[in-house]
Amino acid sequence: MRSAQWLSTIGLSLVLSLLAGRVQALPGQSPDEAVVWIQANPTLRPVRGEKLLVRKSDTPAQRFMFSASPLQVGRASSGSTGGIIRTEEISFFDMQNGVTRDRLQETLRIIYGPTIYQDYAQAKTLYTYPTQKTLDQSVNRDTPLLAAIQGEVREGDRYAYWLEIARQQNGFAYTGKITVFLRDDLPKLEGELRNR
């Protein structure tokens, strides 16, 4: 009797651990599922009280943030969120080492794993900026910030992705972000970026 009880306990533990390993905080899932995944993610390691927003800071010149939100990507808008996570964003501010496209992509791979990274890597690029028109406007209007913000929007088989880096005039980028979001929200974001 004891060995049967012991075996059932071991079996239940194995099943629970396998299920826990499958929980992922991905757009389209519930906020509760996202909180469980964030709490269990060894890279994010949230502190007590952090649920859908995790902040790390080694020094005032270096900050990392991960957020999961039921809001659509881009500018805030009214409307139903459907009670699901629609957008997840990884952002860096690093005045010491800078922020590069490779660093953002590697962070995406580390946090989400190879399946989502592969979806990102194979995703079709829909829009990149600044466009030549924006570059010309930044020179004509003496607004270098227009040319300093560089980014792209991609559509994968599973999700859509938005990578953005802000460069100083010397080319050094100290801030950047990569966002994973629902493909249904692509038209909204692309429209906002094209009409900046």
- Per residue of the chain (196 residues), give pLDDT as tens: 444 443 333 333 333 333 344 445 689 999 999 999 999 999 999 999 999 999 999 899 999 999 999 999 998 877 667 889 999 999 999 999 999 999 999 999 999 999 999 999 999 999 999 877 777 776 677 777 777 899 999 999 999 999 999 998 888 999 999 999 999 999 999 999 988 7
CA 148 – CA 171 distance, rounded (Å): 8
Handedness of CA 27, 31, 34, 38 (dihedral sign): positive
Residue boundaries of the structural domains of the chain: 25-194
In the three-class reduction of DSSP (H, G, I as helix; E, B as strand; rest coil), residue 57 is classed as: strand
Using the structure block, give the residue that is written with the tokens 């989400």: 112
Helices (H) and strands (E) in the chain, counts: 7, 7
CA 194 – CA 137 distance, rounded (Å): 14
